[in-house]
């Protein structure tokens, strides 16, 4: 590519550096920060799912494919996340390829974690493979780790857009992440069933839910299931005696069972159950819900919101945007720079947490 051709595609250049100090290519210009934005024509986009799967990912994939095709752009699916990209597991996707998928859990493209993509060599290889297959832009559906991979590809000249796909709701730039609604409903129904048997046997039950280092699933389920104690990483002070006192006081007042929702980020539910039983004399059992929370047919909300996010991502890629992440905030779908999104902080709403301890 000649210098003249590149300059036609560049809207803004940092002229503090002379172009002569290095061979001027799109890759070098992006790496050096010379290009603020490229108006690159998008002919083919790719889509992949990365990290943990989440119900609703298929709805997002379906929307990316169909919206891009309606925009006159070809779509390729990349199987098994960034690992599949490095292995060149790339397939063509048509409208019919995503038929009868919106109601399915998991991800039809598969997903995997990829250590190689954390390093420059793997990232550069991924960008080269995208170019080899004619992929001008890439939609990445996953969590914050997946965004870092997308950010790296953008530095290598591949337009990228991230979509928040995680049941943990731990992405700071958005009020909604794909899969959270299904996960909390799955967990809520399971906890209701545990409560039934816990009440019959007059037990204390510790139910551990997923969420990694975030307590959103535990907090929501704790409120929805009427738990007596809710333990989340952001707020728990590890004062087990307080929980023991609460169980004993409730039993004195005629409460025949006790439900504790424990977040994955705290964990150790089985050993906690043993200690509580030893201290109270009340039979205490731990139930770890585990990966069932990631499966199942997505709820209406996850299907609709994931579909809108997928369509939004396809549209902004086709407009030539890059290094963006789709978000939902205060009732609106919008997009942020990935770096800005990764720098944001998210906290458990204090009022909701306070209310959870009073109900």
H and E: helices and strands count for the chain: 13, 11
H or E element in which residue 231 lies: strand 229-231
Q: How far apart are CA 105 and CA 103, in angstroms?
A: 7
Catalytic residues: 168
Picking from 162, 218, 163, 189, the residue whose alpha carbon sits closest to that of residue 295 is 189
Handedness of CA 98, 104, 106, 110 (dihedral sign): negative
Q: Are 277 and 283 in contact (CB under 8 A)?
A: yes
Give the β-pairing of 204-209 and 90-93.
Answer: unpaired
Strand partners, 160: 138
Question: How would DSSP label each residue in 132-144?
Answer: HTT--EEEEEE-H
SS3 category, 240: helix
Picking from 140, 169, 138, the residue whose alpha carbon sits closest to that of residue 49 is 140
Picking from 209, 171, 184, 224, the residue whose alpha carbon sits closest to that of residue 291 is 209
- The span from the first CA to the last CA of the chain, in angstroms, equals 66
Q: How far apart are CA 77 and CA 94, in angstroms?
A: 10
Q: How far apart are CA 107 and CA 119, in angstroms?
A: 26
Picking from 355, 310, 317, 324, the residue whose alpha carbon sits closest to that of residue 66 is 310
- Chain-centre distance of CA 154, in angstroms? 19
């Amino acid at each position: 590519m000649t210098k003249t051709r590149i300059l036609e595609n560049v809207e803004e250049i940092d002229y503090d550096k002379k172009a002569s100090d290095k061979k001027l290519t799109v890759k070098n210009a992006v790496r050096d920060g010379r290009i603020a934005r490229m108006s690159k024509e998008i002919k083919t986009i790719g889509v992949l799912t990365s990290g943990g799967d989440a119900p609703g990912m298929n709805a997002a994939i379906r929307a990316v494919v169909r919206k891009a095709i309606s925009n006159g752009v070809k779509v390729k699916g990349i199987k098994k996340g960034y690992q599949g990209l490095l292995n060149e597991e790339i397939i063509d996707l048509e409208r019919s390829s995503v038929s009868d998928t919106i109601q399915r859990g998991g991800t039809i493209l598969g997903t995997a974690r990829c250590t190689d993509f954390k390093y420059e060599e793997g990232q550069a290889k991924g960008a080269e493979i995208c170019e080899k297959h004619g992929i001008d832009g890439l939609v990445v559906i996953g969590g914050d780790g997946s965004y870092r991979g997308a950010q790296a590809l953008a530095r290598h000249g591949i337009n990228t857009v991230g979509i928040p796909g995680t049941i943990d709701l731990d992405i700071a730039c958005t009020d909604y992440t794909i899969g959270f609604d299904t996960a909390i409903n799955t967990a809520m129904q399971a906890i209701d069933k545990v409560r039934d048997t816990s009440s019959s046997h007059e037990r204390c039950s510790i139910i551990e839910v997923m969420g990694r280092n975030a307590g959103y699933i535990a907090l929501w389920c704790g409120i929805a299931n009427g738990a007596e104690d809710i333990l989340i990483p952001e707020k728990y002070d590890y004062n087990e005696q307080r929980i023991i006192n609460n169980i004993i006081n409730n039993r004195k007042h005629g409460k025949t069972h006790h439900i504790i929702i424990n977040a994955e980020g705290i964990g150790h539910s089985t050993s906690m159950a043993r200690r509580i039983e030893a201290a109270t004399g009340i039979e205490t059992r731990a139930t770890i819900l585990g990966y069932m929370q990631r499966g199942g047919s997505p709820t209406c909300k996850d299907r609709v919101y994931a579909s809108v996010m997928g369509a939004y991502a396809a549209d902004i890629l086709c407009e030539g945007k890059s290094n963006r992440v789709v978000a939902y905030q205060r009732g609106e779908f919008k997009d942020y720079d990935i770096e800005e999104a990764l720098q944001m902080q998210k906290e458990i709403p204090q009022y909701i947490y306070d209310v959870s301890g009073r109900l």
